[in-house]
Amino acid sequence: MGNKIKLFDYLSSQPLQGIYTIELEGDKRKKMRKRTAKIEVRFTKITIEASELSQGKAIRKLTLMMLKTIIKLFIMQIAYATEEETEPRSCFSEEEIECLELQMKQLEGKTEKLKNPYKSSDLKRYIWVIARLGGWKGYLSERKPDITTFWIGLQKFFSIIQGWILFRDVPHGNHDKLLFF
């Protein structure tokens, strides 16, 4: 890619590795019809010039972090769309599940319609929490949360869990000694 071609254009010219289709539900209120999204997977090995890098290791780490989030988003999207239960640990660690359980208490409403209807053995229970953090109202009668809602919710959750871990790891009785800058 030394000739300044754009990454998207370069990848578009690579051989097709696979095609996935996702059925998207419609919403009569927004006049959106049911439709099918097609995802084409293309990849290749690229070389980034050394002059464009500040640190190659940092870029690899950033890429892996982004990939982890993208995979988590796809797992959530697929699990929420299926009828059968999915193991929560396929997407979240034990520590994340513990934090999500605590967060759920804050997000559930007072009425039954705003209670999380899923069992703790189902990933949908924790996706419900992420969707609520992402701005979804929580009513099952309304449209289902989409990938953008999950992404916003995950961003908020990542901030919440960092603070929760920090607070949890401070010895009890020493919380007044925390310094905030």
Q: What is the 3-state secondary structure (H, E, C) of 117-154?
A: CCCCCCHHHHHHHHHHHCCCCCCCCCCCCCHHHHHHHH
What is residue 174's predicted lDDT score, i.e. its pLDDT? 56
Paired with 19 in beta bridges are 40
In contact, 139 and 111? CB cutoff 8 Å: no
- Which tens digit of pLDDT belongs to each residue from 67-88? 888 889 999 999 888 888 899 9
Quickly list H helices, the chain. 7-12, 56-81, 94-107, 123-133, 147-169
| pTM (whole model) above 0.75 | no
What is residue 82's predicted lDDT score, i.e. its pLDDT? 86
Reported CATH class of domain 56-169: mainly alpha
Distance CA 93, CA 105 (A): 19
Average pLDDT score over the chain: 82
79: exposed, middle or buried (Cβ count in 10 Å: 0-12, 13-18, 19+):
buried
Domain coordinates in residue numbering, the chain: 56-169
Question: Confidence band (pLDDT; 50, 70, 90) for 3?
Answer: low
